[in-house]
Chains A and B, each alone.
Chain A
Amino acid sequence: MDTITTKLSSEEIFNLMKQFITEVIGEEFVEEMDITPESSFTKDLEMDSIEIVSFSEKIKAHFGEQIDFTGWLSSMDLDQLINLNLGMIISYIEECQS
């Protein structure tokens, strides 16, 4: 478990998220996309639920107990999950670090 303790900037978190997304859906799909903090997981990135599970697992493995990512997701209803975008995750991780 490569748990980190140093505080990351929002840009560093964004780059890390992009890396995780690439690992989950594959480089060939990511190359065709313009990933921004506004990118939503289901509409823009077209990730399905099992891919979001993989993505969540990567976040959990990276940040360890520092953040309760699954707990945060579980508080959302279906509409919120569908509209979830990268910026919201970046803000959440930043909050957990502060």
Chain B
Amino acid sequence: MPIITVNGKSVHIQELNKEAAETIILVHGMFSNLSVYYFNIAPLLATKYHVVLYDLKSHGMSEKALMGYDLESMTNDLFALMEALNLQQVHLGGYSFGGLIALKMAIRFPKRINKLAIIEAPDPNDDKTRGIIDEYSREFLEHYVENFTDTTKVKMGKRQMERNHRMYEYLFYQTSIKTDMELEKDFFGSPAIETIKQSTLLLYGTDSNCLNAGKHLDGIIENASLIALPGDHNIPIQQPLVIAEALLNFFQEI
């Protein structure tokens, strides 16, 4: 299991097709892990590219951290990972919270990021996004899992429920994630977003409550194009091959 040390912390990474000339880094979302890409999306992209997946701090098999969930810290982590892997310039993709990290990377390190693919990044100022953080409880988790299983068909067992519950409990009550996220609520309104010049693909679900966030980004990022695909916020899980093909086409366009 590839675990590397970045800034003194253990980070779980997966690399595919290391020999390829260009690299794509994919960033997963909050309460998720790199497996969202591992089974379908990364293997297809790896037919042409070096693909790097990593688990964010306190997620998947990366080391836990009490602080540093704001976008500045999360992009510091990703920048340090790029340095550790000696990657000078990459294409970058991010899903949900990972999409926010990808946008922040393009703002902070424009020369290090080539193309940008944003999947279902939510507006941090949206009540529903923050509501997930505010209203957390065990009942909420069970309710969430029930709804989640409607669209992804994956039923969580008791051991999984406990594991997930422990992760939510840790992130919500022991780390700074809540306050760090609240500080980001003006991110979509900040002039910095308009400085993004990279060719940017925005992938959103037609039934997603984040679709308006995609439309907003499409309006303010100069070189963006929005594609709405059938599905909701969980489209990478519901339609991994559709997402993978859209990403591959985008990264290969000249």
Contacts and interface: CB of A to CB of B under 8 A. Distances in A.
Nearest to A42: B154
A43 B36 contact: no
A54 B61 contact: yes
Interface centre among B14, B33, B40, B60 (most CB of A within 10 A): B40
Given A42-B154, A74-B44, A53 B35 contact: yes
Contact of B36 (A42, A49, A79): A49
Nearest to A25: B159
A63 to B, nearest CB: 16
Contact of A50 (B34, B152, B154, B238): B34
For chain A, what secondary structure do more than half of its interface residues adopt (helix, strand, loop), or is it mixed? helix
Contacts of A70: 16, 38-39, 43
A79 B16 CA distance: 24
A81 B1 contact: no
A55 to B, nearest CB: 11
Interface string A53-97: 110110000000000001101101111011000000000000000
A31 to B, nearest CB: 13
Interface of B: 1, 14, 16, 33-36, 38-40, 43-44, 55, 60-61, 152-160, 163, 237-238, 240-241
Which 7 residue pairs spanning A and B have beta carbons closest together?
A: A46-B157, A49-B35, A74-B43, A50-B33, A46-B159, A50-B35, A53-B35
Given A25-B159, A48-B35, A78-B153, 19 more contacts: A29-B159, A43-B155, A48-B160, A49-B36, A49-B38, A49-B39, A50-B60, A52-B35, A53-B14, A53-B33, A54-B1, A74-B40, A74-B43, A74-B44, A78-B152, A78-B240, A79-B153, A81-B39, A82-B154
